[in-house]
Structure 1
């Protein structure tokens, strides 16, 4: 039987679901308070908050939890707590008993302490997202170093935010009304994870006849949710398209890998699809959008990809200015925008010059709404 040690958990590890995601179990937690310390936001040298807490000397005191941790779990915690060191701290439990426990303190001079950090505020705003993200980080243990796993964390957070949105109740009037036991995962590995990830599953799923399938090998290409928006000027009956080089058509061997598309981009963790649509319109085309009209959101390739697209028509003012150049140079974007009549866009779809699926979906949705949008804009 392995010996256990007493640990004091504060900050994000003081959030029981996240601690369970790290340890792989829900330990017995006992409230305690560390005196002579306080929790503050970690900041970079420029003073920008980094989203995680630091335990530093101070008069405020720190509320947290005590838990027994096994030697094997200590190894897991050490792998996870990169940039922190273990040390003994003085705590007082709920009965007023003074104890010493191990805690993770920041390495000297690695980060700058910022304002006071509040667990309740963090948990309400980011707890669910962080717990999902940490679960993906911990799944990488044994496959990559902790440094490599943490380097992937920004994209892991994007995928976690997508999973949170996906978990919302979905309509099921014709298709199966799914329950948790309908899919049973026997194993999951992640052989590749950088900007995108690949998840390799061995799973069973409920068959329409009622029984479970045999164990199936299935892989999915994992990316975060994205937003696509077609800027439309109903007064001028003009749309804005963007053009850029695309590696997908190039890898297929397409004779012309430059693609006519909508404004599009990833929905970052912490922003809504609508906010992403407005941000991308500014970044890619310098256009400020007014009212957003939702078009059908959808999975473009559900047989292989987790990507989910939030689609919009963005009403705006599009005076004739000719082609424009845009995109973020830091992200290697080289984007040309075109302001063209609606009728010309439909001709390009007919000719096959436009072959981008999301653009075609939104163009057809605009065709459905266009007459009413023009009447409203022109006051007729």
Structure 2
């Protein structure tokens, strides 16, 4: 069957991620439709929709797919409806399957162009498409589509790890085939994901390990920021219920923390820090100072933390209760003198790794920051 693509699937690497190959692609035109940016509540979503419009023409590509490949396209195009339409190819009319947006899903925005999308979203959406297909084959396309935002978050984290890897001065040098994966499967899927692996890795003494069974809790990168007022010598902390301490049996599962949040797709860690400061405590940060970045639990979790000291003004009325209601967040802010912060680190009340790291980092920089203030 012939298929006509007018949007992201015109990007050959993404098409390969979905169907496993790049077929023969030929230019074609669809008359009576205009490609527009899909939007929700005025926010562009990074993919196009077709809007019926007399006299308009949408250019794209046409190709022939197998039944199995067409099924994968159907998985990926959830929310769209397949329609068999007439197109123009090399001056002749041909029939092809076209995926039109379902009614009420999205609103049309500005004109959509492949070049602009490729520059902004191409690498991320291609990586996410490969992960989506991997999950859809194991847990089903409906469950994979329900996880699509989380898939984007994890794809962005993977690209970030590749673009800015951790230094290797003391660590062994990386070689090809350091890790050989014998099997990989999904052990749990929900808001987060657990991947089960059977693998072998290279040994320091040479050769490979025996086959090891390992599991990894997959989540995206996060940004953590500790707001600090150098003139008043105090910080803003937040307090909220946490499921991890509750599950461990902690008598009081409300935790004192620095402001934090997952990095959204297309967002930088710095942008996340500024956004979360406003969402969780209603404050604006003037300047960010990079602090250590790290894996908090590398033995089991993929999560990676980007840390910052956020210089800002913290008068007595700074901060407000915050959190995103749709995510069930209920957050209370606290203005805390620096000496009290360090006492809480000492006693363990500031008992989470990002806050401890940031507190010690601030202690290291505090004298110079106060002098400048």
CA contact (8 A) 1:239 1:340 kept: yes
From 147, 154, 160, the equivalent of 1:152 is 147
CA contact (8 A) 1:224 1:266 kept: yes
Matched, 1:217 2:217: no
SS of aligned partner of 1:235 = coil
From 275, 281, 287, the equivalent of 1:285 is 281
Alpha-carbon distance in structure 1 between the residues aligned to 2:319 and 2:44: 39
Aligned CA RMSD, in angstroms, stands at: 2.2
Deviation at 1:297, TM superposition (A): 0.5
Corresponding residue number in structure 1 for 2:62: 66
Deviation at 1:146, TM superposition (A): 2.7
Corresponding residue number in structure 1 for 2:323: 327
Sort the Cα spacing of 1:185 and 1:96 in 2 relative to 1 into closer, same or farther, 3 A.
farther
Aligned length: 371
Deviation at 1:250, TM superposition (A): 1.0
TM-score computed with the length of structure 1 as normaliser: 0.90
Deviation at 1:367, TM superposition (A): 0.9
Deviation at 1:279, TM superposition (A): 1.2
Residues 287-342 of structure 1: CA deviation (Å, up to 9, x unaligned): 21111111100000000001110101111111234985332333222222221211
Corresponding residue number in structure 1 for 2:129: 134
SS of aligned partner of 1:189 = strand
From 20, 34, 38, the equivalent of 2:34 is 38
Deviation at 1:35, TM superposition (A): 3.7
SS of aligned partner of 2:152 = helix
Matched, 1:121 2:124: no
CA contact (8 A) 1:324 1:338 kept: no
Alpha-carbon distance in structure 2 between the residues aligned to 1:110 and 1:352: 48
Residues 122-158 of structure 1: CA deviation (Å, up to 9, x unaligned): 1110111111112221112243343332221112111
Corresponding residue number in structure 2 for 1:256: 252
Corresponding residue number in structure 2 for 1:368: 364
Corresponding residue number in structure 1 for 2:314: 318
Alpha-carbon distance in structure 2 between the residues aligned to 1:86 and 1:329: 36
CA contact (8 A) 1:155 1:194 kept: no
Alpha-carbon distance in structure 1 between the residues aligned to 2:318 and 2:2: 68
CA contact (8 A) 1:322 1:338 kept: no
Sort the Cα spacing of 1:179 and 1:123 in 2 relative to 1 into closer, same or farther, 3 A.
farther
Corresponding residue number in structure 2 for 1:190: 186
Deviation at 1:112, TM superposition (A): 4.1
Q: Greater shift after overlay, 126-135 or 180-189?
A: 180-189
From 83, 86, 91, the equivalent of 2:82 is 86
CA contact (8 A) 2:283 2:319 kept: no
Alpha-carbon distance in structure 1 between the residues aligned to 2:209 and 2:12: 35
Q: What runs of 5+ residues in structure 2 fail to find an aligned partner?
A: none
Deviation at 1:281, TM superposition (A): 1.2
Sort the Cα spacing of 1:76 and 1:232 in 2 relative to 1 into closer, same or farther, 3 A.
same
Deviation at 1:357, TM superposition (A): 1.0
Alpha-carbon distance in structure 1 between the residues aligned to 2:283 and 2:106: 38
Matched, 1:21 2:17: yes
Sort the Cα spacing of 1:83 and 1:324 in 2 relative to 1 into closer, same or farther, 3 A.
closer
Sort the Cα spacing of 1:137 and 1:235 in 2 relative to 1 into closer, same or farther, 3 A.
same
CA contact (8 A) 1:299 1:309 kept: yes
TM-score computed with the length of structure 2 as normaliser: 0.92
Alpha-carbon distance in structure 2 between the residues aligned to 1:313 and 1:50: 31
Alpha-carbon distance in structure 2 between the residues aligned to 1:234 and 1:40: 48
SS of aligned partner of 1:73 = helix
